[in-house]
Structure 1
Amino acid sequence: MKTISKLASAFFLFAILLVNAAPPIPGGGGNGGNGTGAPSSPIDMYVYVLSAIAITFIVFFTKKYKNQKA
């Protein structure tokens, strides 16, 4: 069991290091932006809508779970 926990810890540490890895900043001047004024990814436009949907799902499934439990 100790071997499995050590392997799991090593895996999670490796995964965290990969997630936090940042690509190197290219040399030269400029601010590093894309320069077009466009959003960096299309999902940025829908953050508020996705947040509202997530809260709706949380409320719905919480009520559903409470009704099943009672």
Structure 2
Amino acid sequence: MKNNISKLLSTLFLFAVLLVKAIPSTPVPGDGSTGGSGTGEPAAPIDMYVYVLSIIAVMFIVFYTKKYKSQKA
């Protein structure tokens, strides 16, 4: 059972990394100057927390897997 959990976590981690790396970086519009065009806000604020959310998701998976395993035994 422990081997299955490690395979599941490895697979989820791999997909999380692939999804994070799949987002193409967009070039800064303009001629590269530091002029004030735009609001300065990130396109999607959740992008800052992708790694934190991934770690929390893995923690929930481990917690509920252990909880389910203890109920089954």
TM-score (norm 2): 0.45
State which structure, 1 or 2, has the greater radius of gyration over its C-alpha atoms. 1
TM-score (norm 1): 0.46
Q: Greater relative contact order (Cα 8 A, min sep 6): structure 1 or 2?
A: 2
